[in-house]
Structure 1
């Protein structure tokens, strides 16, 4: 049985000690865009708050914070669809599978635009609070498969949460890559009792929740952060390719006062040569082709 402590699943590896990866066409950086779509059940405490509860008392139903999220599904996400259609980018969609039932119109737009569907649990809430993880994972993966017509290969835990048993259950369900382990600029492989999983370099730093909602930075700072990250990774990519993830939510980055900063991030990125925009499955396939993590 695999030692399920995270550090034991992935022995330490310094990036400078590995053979450099090689991108097609001698490109130097992959930009991985992840759009997160979630269901916040109005009968439960909200996943996060833009406005604190009066006197610190959590009150149900939490109409203002639920409505804030709902704006992203009704209005904000369509700004994302317009932007990525113009850019010719097909992002990864990190999706609570319940979105397919509760917001079918939104899910259909992503499916028909050719976005990759990555599992993000059934609804928003930490994995630690789910009594039947195996059943929830299976339900989520099956719902996405039935809706898109193809099996999904990626998974991101809500809030990047995992228990000690989650990797085994994901591998058992057919998941090939995860985004919860944000410890590298390159893909790696971790062990489970049901075979290995590839980790892709997701981001908590270039994620609009920590920057905008937790740390309360001004909107323009997020753009600066993304551009600074890109510039350094692009520079380093001359010697060994790097991966840069951008993680966004429609109720945050697609607000009218923020969307221009996201547009400007891509203008900056696309002014450089050697950039590949890839979704998670494409990154996984590229890495697996050379490292043979899965047959």
Structure 2
């Protein structure tokens, strides 16, 4: 068995200032990549995260309070997100556990009808490291999503951004063309795998409501403040080269009544600026591939 490549073997160091600047069409200068994450938490297993710790300080099963906190997102919170993106004419990327199509077909159908891009996010929520057969899990995930939507996903995000050293090889073999697990750049990059290249899109853990709200415990308006600060700087820099602003949300967090207005206000702020486009991961992938092919041809 071949030894899996280390990350630096997959992607050599590259300073952004040493690369030729790409161009966006029609005078655009900044891409907003919105990612909605939908998960399935199995009541028989420890919850992916907790909003309230057990009274004894030890995780207990079944963890009903934290399971039902997540369930609120699927029953109520996600519909606030559907409304937000519909009224603002934005098509996000949907990072979903494939099991959402089976356990929450009403939600998955709404996303399909709205034209959202479906991106693979494992079969159910849990670290990749605990998967006994990654290749089978990846295939099962993509098969379930394809059977539901009629289209096989080309993007992937590991649950919790988890992956082992050989995960990129398995994903490329399964037909995945882009992933978001390495948050190491402002621009798309290519990484090497044993089965051809993968494009790494600039996903985010900084403008992500899990670490911001559930780990760092910021006030509800902080997502808006930090995202605007990020946008302002990227927009300034985009006068020289295109930039990508990624926003990652979960319905049981950002879909809460006391948080949703700040997300709405953020998108309204972004709409006040010229040259801002809202693209899915597939659109970003096509643009990047076309741009790099054009540069190589030149």
The interval holding the TM-score normalised by the smaller chain is: over 0.9
Which residue is 2:10 aligned to?
9
Q: Distance in 1 between matches of 2:173 and 2:57?
A: 41
Contact kept? 1:206, 1:247, Cα under 8 Å = yes
Q: Distance in 2 between matches of 1:27 and 1:85?
A: 22
Q: CA deviation at 1:142?
A: 0.9
TM-score scaled to structure 1, two decimals? 0.98
The 3-state SS of whatever aligns with 1:55 is coil
Which residue is 2:209 aligned to?
208
Which residue is 1:60 aligned to?
61
Contact kept? 2:4, 2:165, Cα under 8 Å = no
The 3-state SS of whatever aligns with 1:219 is coil
CA deviation vs aligned residue, 1:234-268 (integer Å, no higher than 9, x gap): 11001000001000000000100000000011011
Q: Distance in 2 between matches of 1:3 and 1:23?
A: 35
Which residue is 2:174 aligned to?
173
Which residue is 2:237 aligned to?
236
The unaligned stretches of length 5 or more in structure 2 are: none
The 3-state SS of whatever aligns with 2:254 is coil
Which residue is 2:253 aligned to?
252
CA deviation vs aligned residue, 1:102-158 (integer Å, no higher than 9, x gap): 000000000010000000000000000000100000000111111111111000000
The 3-state SS of whatever aligns with 2:68 is helix
Contact kept? 1:3, 1:9, Cα under 8 Å = no
Superposed CA RMSD in Å reads 1.1
Q: CA deviation at 1:2?
A: 7.7
TM-score scaled to structure 2, two decimals? 0.97
Q: Distance in 1 between matches of 2:12 and 2:4?
A: 12
Which residue is 2:128 aligned to?
127
The 3-state SS of whatever aligns with 1:94 is strand
The 3-state SS of whatever aligns with 1:245 is strand
Which residue is 1:106 aligned to?
107
The unaligned stretches of length 5 or more in structure 1 are: none
